[in-house]
């Protein structure tokens, strides 16, 4: 079993509040939510970050954004929402498995810290 936290969640070895599960993509609630809705959308395949994406991930990315759009609707984020991905230490990436944060349910400040 991989020692990657999100690979372990994707494999069901660590519990999470899962809101979407398909062959290629999973989404679950962030353990430390920063907004009323704070979901993490991940590929089941291990990709460390945006920095490791290639043209071969085109279909996966389309599916991930389809999931994001669908979840935003299910969470009734009618006022808008933010999709964020951190890459590397300066951006605060703490889990080295690609994930998009889907944040909403309140007004979100800009710029981020």
Cβ neighbour number for residue 20 with a 10 Å cutoff: 16
Q: Does residue 93 bind ligand DGP (CB under 6 A)? A: yes
Cβ neighbour number for residue 14 with a 10 Å cutoff: 11
Check if 99 is active-site: yes
Taking the C-alpha atoms of residue 41 and residue 90, their distance in angstroms, rounded to an integer, is 21
**Which of 46, 97, 99, 101 is the catalytic position?**
99
How far the first Cα of the chain sits from its last, in Å, is 35
Determine which residue in the list 30, 50, 65, 105 makes contact with ligand DGP, applying CB under 6 A.
Answer: 30
Q: Does residue 16 bind ligand DGP (CB under 6 A)? A: yes
* Interacting residues with ligand DGP (CB under 6 A): 5, 16, 28-32, 40, 86, 92-95
Residues taking part in catalysis: 99
């Amino acid at each position: 079993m991989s020692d990657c936290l999100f690979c372990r969640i994707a494999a069901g070895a660590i519990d999470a509040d899962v809101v979407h599960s398909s062959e290629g993509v999973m989404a679950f609630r962030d353990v430390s939510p920063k907004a009323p809705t704070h979901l993490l959308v991940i590929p089941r395949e291990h990709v460390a970050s945006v920095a490791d994406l290639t043209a071969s991930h085109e279909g996966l990315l389309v599916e991930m954004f389809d999931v994001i759009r669908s979840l935003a609707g299910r969470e009734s984020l009618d006022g808008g929402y933010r999709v964020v991905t951190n890459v590397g230490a300066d951006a605060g990436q703490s889990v080295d498995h690609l994930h998009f944060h889907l944040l909403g349910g309140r007004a979100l400040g800009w710029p981020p810290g």
